[in-house]
Structure 1
Amino acid sequence: MAFAAAAAGGAAAAPEPRLPAAHLPVPLVRQATDYSCGAAAMLAALYYWKAFEGPESELYPLLGTTPKDGTDPRSMRAAAERLGLAARLQEGMTLEDLSAALGKGETVILDLQAWSDPAAPPVKWANRWEDGHYVVLVGTDAQHVYVMDPSVAAGYGHIPLTELYERWHDYEDRDGKMWRNQHLGLILSGKEHIAAYPAPLERIR
């Protein structure tokens, strides 16, 4: 699926988003704090891969999540590996890469810009760097990507493809070293994942 084709419509309105039937059933996880979207996104992926059963806060020490810096994607990769998942960070990802990962059943955590202050002066997504946010990819179609967004409480979120490339960047400033990443994804896979979300009914004992 080429981004150029998706963007060719220019100002034309995209069709109403509809969650693909073959989406990954990643559990919905609402972030517990305004700085823990990375931990919440990781928790959702870990639940999906049956790699962890604890609450979000138990991941903070493992991920290095803090109110000042949030969560570094490199720490997320290391934590995933420690918990038994195959994990790799890839910069410069394309829509074709995302589709390929979904086709292999992999989960991809995207690091992008989202939920800017509505009271702030409008700034183009491409020029925003202070609204970094993590989401988990669950599906794509010709016009949208669909994600588990830890800031969305009741369902999955969506982003038009015409916006995705403009928003898909972030930075980390650790120990005086700046890393500006573009089109970064944390690609995860494991030995077993949940079959559905919500899961089948379970007898309460």
Structure 2
Amino acid sequence: MRRWFGSTKNLFGCIGGLLGLVLYVVGVVGPLWLMVVVVAVLYAAGALLGPPDKVRLVVDPEAEAVQVRSSLDALAHTVSGHAGRLPASAVDGVRRVAEMLSDLLADPARLAANPDLQHRVLLLARTDLPLSVQTYLNLPRWFAASRADAGHELVKQLDLIEHRAHQLAEEYYAAEVNQQKDQTRYLGEDA
């Protein structure tokens, strides 16, 4: 309801209603009851003919980063709770990847400045990592325990995800790495 008051359609309706009041004051519209009808009709016409509000599909990067970091924390907590069902290296792998992705999401404005990188980080954090763990945990315990290849696949997937997270971190921190190299080069010139 609150959005309606600030909407473009309501604004056009109010302009129509004001036009009806002006018509009454000027004397074009006769009795008071007719003015009420004219104002209501002009408001409705303005509201119906007014352009719709623009749709905003872009999410606030700050809010999105907080949500994704919270999801990563919840995933790491869930994995720790199911540590007995997972291969030992999988628990550590999920923790390491969640930590890396959380660090990349720590400065949402900087991440949002590179939309391609942001998309790949969010894809890894929202889809790839949770899907790998969820798929394994959805297997019945007896089945996963009897099939060594299920655990092996999870570990392999986590290794690939961790490798991708490292690549994203390299890209994210490239400016700092270059700055550090430049400083080393500068300091080496005097030696």
| TM-score normalised by structure 2 residue count | 0.22
| TM-score normalised by structure 1 residue count | 0.21
| Pair member with larger Rg | 2
Structure whose residues are more often strand by fraction: 1
Structure whose residues are more often helix by fraction: 2
